[in-house]
Amino acid sequence: MFAVKPLSSLQSDLSRAVFLRPPAIGIRQARVSGRQGRVNGGAVKAAISSGDKTMEAEKGKVPYSDTDSSSSSSSASPAAASSGMIELRAVLTVRKKMRQRLVDKMEDQLESFINGIGQGISLRLVSEEVDPVTKSGKSVESTVRGWLPQQSEHPYIAEYAADFSVPGDFGCPGAVLVTNLHGKEFHLSEIVIHGFSEGPVYFSTNTWIHARKDNPESRIIFRNQAYLPSETPPGLKDLRHEDLLGIRGNGKGERKAHERIYDYAPYNDLGNPDKDDELARPVLGCDDRPYPRRCRTGRPPMRTDPLSESRIEKPNPVYVPRDETFEEIKQNTFAAGRMKALLHNLVPSIAASLSSSDIPFKCFSEIDRLYINGLILKEGDQMEAAANLLIPNVMKEVLTVGQKLLKYEVPAIISRDRFAWLRDNEFARQALAGVNPVSIELLKEFPIVSKLDPAIYGRPESALTRELIEKEIDGMSVEKAIEEKRLFIIDYHDMLLPFIDKINSLPNRKAYASRTLFFYNQSAFLRPIAIELTLPATPTSPQNKRVYTHGHDSTSHWIWKQAKAHVCSVDAGVHQLVNHWLRTHASMEPYIIATYRQLSSMHPIYKLLHPHMRYTLEINALARQSLINGGGIIEACFSPGRYAMELSSAAYKSMWRFDMEALPADLIRRGMAVEDPSMPHGLKLVIEDYPYAADGLLIWSAIKDWVESYVAHFYPDPNSTASDVELQSWWDEIKNKGHQDKRNEPWWPGLATKEDLCKILTTIIWVASGQHAAINFGQYPFGGYVPNRPTMMRRLIPQEDEPEYQKFILNPQATFLSSLPTQLQATKVMAVQDTLSTHSPDEEYLGEASQLQRNWINDQEVLEMFKKFSARLEEIEMVINERNSDPQLKNRSGAGIPPYELLLPSSGPGVTGRGIPNSISI
């Protein structure tokens, strides 16, 4: 792509150092545990590194130390080696396209020529010291110049150089201003300045450099030294301020793809009334429907609804700041996932095309065939269906390869025991060790009473009576069971009842507001004892509540099975819309926007948080485009239908609060743990064999210790956090702009001390890493078998006075299966769950430093802290593996039970059911 002049033998040594430099000592580059090893980022990332050799300048060398982060800007600056000029060389590492078309190669050759004459990339090196004449940082300019460099063994990585002559009193380089004179952007991975006797100076970039024709302003890149605002070297103060102003933008206009502007907007882009009145959706992010803010795109309003933003439909991309977009490896993985999803959807679509209607599963063997045989069609039918569905030519070729179109992988939940989903103990186990283990609570009060308005929703008392409960717990009194902490509940009554009439008015969709009661017996087993399913009160049914127990005869057994299926479908909706989307994806987005807008990339807290923000804005934008939008997959396949995001907003209004997103606080709030200073994490679990909580506390504690050591290093003064202007603006913006509708809540933590900061940061990092992993990557392992976790139900449970009841008595299996999602709905949601459960090959996991991150900070003490954090996570992985092998822990070990691995830190690519990425990247 670019070219430089022929290099000397010294430069040849430098080039070899770039590609052969060993990993940073003590920081894991890959971790293998029980599965195939993972190379972080594949061959591309393995190649992106920079030499640690020093370069002797022809006219002298600069005695500069690049290792002591605690030194001031003056002491960190290079002393003048002589009164003459000093020769420096800037080496740029550029990532090229992995898949190049002929036109790309031709463009590369043209750009090589442009660089050869010094017209491609311009650099300005800025010192940390002030020029007494200009009153700004001393600076010197140069350009990338020369012809093609020696070819690297890594075809996707290229290096280019620019030479500088600086005066002996130039000082320490603190910033590089990069101007891209080409007609298109390029990806800059790193800049290294050579010529200092103590080693090179690193500028970790990993950023897209826009073309000057798109934006005349140069990109400002700071070196890998962390500075609090008050410690900013004089020569960099103006650049620090200028860079933040550019990132914030002015809040006007439509954003362009090349921009790096972060701003806020409400969720007003989910509907599309311009296309169809049925696709109109209310704005989320107002007093009536509060919601976290998303990244602003600035698109014009809808023609039919000026409060809603016009939509960008697939395959056109939704704007996110340029560096938030997927890298090529991730793009290819996600594209493959979309292709796979299309194949998944195609199978039932073809069946629907041939039969003129979507059909339910008629027997369990039809579900099994998805994993065993796949689905077979004649070649002619394949081609006809492909034509009817407007499948692209490449897809037609795929379809004609053979008869077996698709074969799903067997989900973990039935891989060891095909009938596990039928059992009550497995139903209860998944409340503690499934994909949604964050809804179960200790029952603290009795009777159970609704908080909804009785004038609208009827009598508040639950139908779960004392007599019914005591019958199911072997005569123990309810009071004693509560006192001994043996009764637990998953209560979706108040959250769902206001939406039930709306949901049930949708075609082929039925739901209840549910309560599920569990008993923790003397044998340390949790079992469901009663399910309450409620419909809104009517004049003829003022108490429209029914209670179901497991029973022993065949009729009650089948009705109990249907009641559990309804609970699972409700749970699936709450999991997806509240615990997964709202509490991780949507809530995290404002933290990310505020971090970019208010914390300089030099700020130590920015450097700490940066790995935990990767890809989140892009995956959220894709979700708004295809998953949570009006008519999208979530509406089509989950119980709440078109009211899905309204339900999510109602949950945000009634239950979301930042201080309760911390794992210990959440466990205490739900009564699943009590404070106990004698325990390792300061908590004692009420149910010790609670895999999500037990493993989660290990991860939480590791994050907390890492954050505390990091914060103490940069904020030794007790008052330093309160006086950090960027930090205070960051926290103020999260509360008042990012979560604007909750800005006046009294529970927001203050930010006066470093202890306050540690709690806030630990919570944010936990949400982005461990919490998201625990409730995301089990979606296909648990939900891939539809009867175990149906995402919606199509029929209510038949009652004795209804005509459907006799059909149920004659064929209960048919009634059950016809209540589940249809083949089209099931296969579609399975495809989505499969995609959402997939790790990309370039995933970056908690505690691992990728090649791009190896020079993320110039501070040996911090690197040693990170090394300890990394080692701690390796120990945690061993502890979790030991727990999964312990026969005493029945919720994670036993015949047919898949081990609980969702909080194992490492993973390979694919659907593994394990692994904690740094960020919400899928």
Residue-wise pLDDT for 620-630, tens only, equals: 999 999 899 99
Say whether 544 is catalytic. no
Per the CB < 8 A criterion, the answer to whether 27 and 847 are in contact is no
Of 224, 579, 776, 891, which one is the catalytic site residue?
Answer: 776
Q: Which residues pair with 887 in a beta bridge?
A: none
Residues whose CB is less than 8 angstroms from the CB of residue 410 and which lie 6 or more positions away in sequence, other chains included: 371
Tens-digit pLDDT profile for residues 709-751: 999 999 999 889 999 999 999 999 999 999 999 999 999 999 9
Distance CA 178, CA 162 (A): 12
Distance CA 48, CA 26 (A): 18
| Nearest 10 degrees: Cα torsion 907, 913, 919, 922 | 120
Per the CB < 8 A criterion, the answer to whether 161 and 91 are in contact is yes
Question: Where does residue 474 rank: exposed (0-12), middle (13-18), buried (19+ CB within 10 A)?
Answer: exposed
Say whether 194 is catalytic. no
Say whether 585 is catalytic. yes
Q: What is the DSSP code (8-state) at residue 464?
A: -
Plot region of 619 (φ>0 → left; ψ -120 to 50 → alpha; else → beta) = alpha
Alpha helices in 182-327 (DSSP H): 237-248
Residue 153 has a pLDDT of 66
Strands (DSSP E) found in 535-571: 545-548
User: Strands 137-143 and 683-685: what pairing?
Assistant: unpaired
Q: First vs last Cα of the chain: how many Å apart?
A: 31
Distance CA 289, CA 287 (A): 6
Question: Where does residue 131 rank: exposed (0-12), middle (13-18), buried (19+ CB within 10 A)?
Answer: middle
Helix, strand, or coil (residue 717) = coil
User: Strands 186-194 and 85-95: what pairing?
Assistant: antiparallel
**Residue 750 structure tokens:** 């203050």
CA-based nearest residue to 233, from 218, 223, 243: 223
| Nearest 10 degrees: Cα torsion 462, 467, 471, 476 | 100
Q: Domains plus CATH for the chain?
A: 85-226 (2.60.60.20), 438-576+791-821 (3.10.450.60)
Per the CB < 8 A criterion, the answer to whether 735 and 743 are in contact is yes
Per the CB < 8 A criterion, the answer to whether 592 and 621 are in contact is no
Residue 389 has a pLDDT of 35
Of 187, 550, 772, 839, which one is the catalytic site residue?
Answer: 772
Distance CA 491, CA 759 (A): 29
Distance CA 660, CA 672 (A): 13
How would you list the strands of the sheet with 173-180, edge to edge?
137-143, 121-130, 173-180, 219-222
H-helix or E-strand spanning residue 749: none
Residue ranges in the chain whose pLDDT is less than 50: 1-83, 148, 339-354, 356, 375-404
Distance CA 18, CA 206 (A): 16
Say whether 610 is catalytic. no
Of 765, 876, 897, 922, which one is the catalytic site residue?
Answer: 922
Residues whose CB is less than 8 angstroms from the CB of residue 324 and which lie 6 or more positions away in sequence, other chains included: 615, 616, 617, 618
Strands (DSSP E) found in 576-706: 673-675, 683-685
Per the CB < 8 A criterion, the answer to whether 606 and 600 are in contact is yes
CA-based nearest residue to 158, from 194, 129, 131, 121: 121
Residue 185 has a pLDDT of 92
Of 210, 550, 580, 603, which one is the catalytic site residue?
Answer: 580
Question: Where does residue 586 rank: exposed (0-12), middle (13-18), buried (19+ CB within 10 A)?
Answer: buried
Per the CB < 8 A criterion, the answer to whether 301 and 310 are in contact is yes
Of 182, 566, 585, 739, which one is the catalytic site residue?
Answer: 585
Taken in order 526, 527, 528, 530, is the CA torsion positive or negative?
A: negative
CA-based nearest residue to 854, from 204, 326, 222: 204
Distance CA 708, CA 35 (A): 32
Say whether 776 is catalytic. yes
Residues whose CB is less than 8 angstroms from the CB of residue 551 and which lie 6 or more positions away in sequence, other chains included: 557, 559, 560
Per the CB < 8 A criterion, the answer to whether 292 and 620 are in contact is no
How far lies 373's CA from each of 338, 567, 800, 900, in Å? Answer: 22, 30, 39, 28
Please state the φ and ψ torsions of residue 194, each to the nearest 5 degrees.
Answer: -110, 150
